[in-house]
Structure 1
Amino acid sequence: MDDNPRDWFGEPRAAARARPATTTSDLRSQVDELLDAKIEKFYAEVPYADHQRSGSDINLEYYKRHNIETILRLRRKRTVDALAIGYFTKRDPVRGAKWAHYVEDEMLHDEWFAGDLAKVGVTKEEIYSTEPFQSTKLLTGYLQYGMEFEGTPLALLSSVYFVEYVTTKTQPSWVRNLEESLGREKLAGARRHVGTDIEDEHATFVWEVLASLVNTPEDERRVIEHVTVVASLWVAYFIELYRHVVAQPADALEAGRTLAAGVV
């Protein structure tokens, strides 16, 4: 539907039916192939990328900071989720209801990770007093820019699909390896999070909502662009994490940018 206020408050089912019947299976295959290549390159070229998946001597500070950042990122993303709900309430309430249910399901997952961190000595005060990495701020800003200045949740939904897809591809092996080193009881939150994403088929659900915004070849191009940008920020985050915890140079962010330019 176009952005016509006269259409905003009509019959909700009619709004859903008014959307063109767009087939996006080819686009999804293209995105998935892109993400598979990004994951492979990530493991091959980003320092410490394979640490949580196959490291036998886990760097506990790296693990802690990664989970703290995961929580900080989740807390900031849910503010953008709220903007997306507002978008759908006006233009497509049927999908708005579905997205609101998904957001409700994801809203408090940071508590699961905080519970895991408590078992390795990290308090909530420490978590929430930590300054987010620059890569986290850039990601949040990118998603908010899409809502505030482009007027669409296309960037957000592309990012959420990225997260759900990459989670199903990477996190089960990370959790299994971390459980062997730290103990299964210390990964209860992470395992619950991954299990929810896989069992509820979150990647497929998110794609179906994303597809409702894809009506033109230009929309398809933008999805590829958004996924590529988010993947770049994903790499930048792990480089920043490595530089901050492991390498600790004087200018971790600049070092991360330099290395990311050659990886992404």
Structure 2
Amino acid sequence: MSRVRLENLAAEYMEREFDRVPRMRELHEGTWIERDYYVRHIVETVLRIRLNNEVDTYALFRVGSKDDSLAANLAKYLAEEFGHEHMFTRDLVRFGFPVEQLDRTPVFPSTNKLMGFLRLAADKEGPAPTTVWDWFVEWYSDRYNQIITTRAAEEFGADLVRGSQTHIEFDTTHDHDDLMFRVVSRAVETWSTAATAESYLDTFVSLIGDYFGELHAATARDRGQGQDQDQDRDRSSAQLVSS
């Protein structure tokens, strides 16, 4: 399985989604950010990490004793990832988004589809689909997360992205991109095929594009409702003055 080909496909699929969801491109290029949008993005990040840990654990279970080397590396990755959502949660609290509200927030439909797909695909191809997803997450983080976090720090203040920055630095020092490529290569070689892995990657990136579309639609609607409420208050004040 060629790492160069996989990286090139990931970049190609991301470009396709950037064209489909323009705000997604602007966020990832660091040319645009908005507070409600960013906060809801971090909320989904936390909720997705929680679910992702569960599907990774299930993938590890599917390996069982069939491949001790693969199981050990996947377990190492899991051990280093568990609890990382708390880094982002602390940022959310600083934004004024309490943990109680976070726990009540439902995930977007695209996240449900992604996690459901991973869970069901593990029954058919063991850890291969999940490791392709995990590799993509690490590739994505290396390529885009610093850009997004730097822009957020400029816009909202470095203190509000402290957890996000810590997470980036952790992944960098632990070489998670390299680790997960070794894991995905072995998983695909043993349980699947390169062509199937590439089709999984295509599906995952399409769902990420769907997510960013849902994110923009939801936060734009919330902003619109707030503006409507402000206009209603302005009209009510004007009527009181005129009366």
Q: Structure 2 residue aligned with 1:168, among 124, 142, 145? A: 142
Aligned match of 1:118: 93
Instruction: Give the residue type in structure 2 aligned to 1:32.
Output: E
2:236 alignment counterpart: none
Q: CA RMSD in A?
A: 1.9
Stretches of structure 1 that go unaligned for 5 or more consecutive residues are 1-23, 249-264
Q: Is the 8 A contact 2:125 2:191 kept in 1?
A: no
- Post-superposition shift, 1:42? 3.5
Query: How does the TM-score come out when normalised to structure 1?
Result: 0.78
Residue 205 in structure 1 maps to residue 179 in structure 2: yes
1:81 aligned partner, one-letter code: D
TM-superposed CA distance for 1:92, in Å, is: 1.2
Task: Report whether the alignment pairs 1:237 with 2:193.
Answer: no
Aligned equivalent of 2:105: 130
TM-superposed deviation, 1:55: 4.2
- Structure 1 runs (4+) greater than 6 angstroms displaced: none
Distance 1:51 1:213, change over 3 A: closer
Shifted more, 119-128 versus 207-216: the winner is: 207-216
Quick check: 1:48 aligned with 2:48? Answer: no
Which is further off, 67-76 or 214-223? 214-223
Query: Does the 8 Å contact 2:46/2:88 carry over to 1?
Result: yes
Of structures 1 and 2, the larger Rg is shown by 2
Q: Distance in 1 between matches of 2:133 and 2:188?
A: 15
Map 1:1-264 to 2 at 5 A: 24=1, 27-49=2-24, 50-51=26-27, 53-55=29-31, 58-148=33-123, 150-215=124-189, 219-247=193-221
Post-superposition CA distance 1:12-60 (Å, at most 9, x none)? xxxxxxxxxxxx2xx221111111122333344413211364346x421
Which structure is higher in RCO with an 8 Å CA cutoff and minimum separation 6? 2
Distance 1:189 1:47, change over 3 A: same
TM-score normalised by structure 2 residue count: 0.85
Aligned residues: 221
The 3 A distance-change label for structure 1 pair 179 and 198 is same
What displacement does 1:83 show?
1.2
Q: In structure 2, how many angstroms separate the alpha carbons of the residues matched to 1:233 and 1:106?
A: 22
Matched AA of 2:74: W
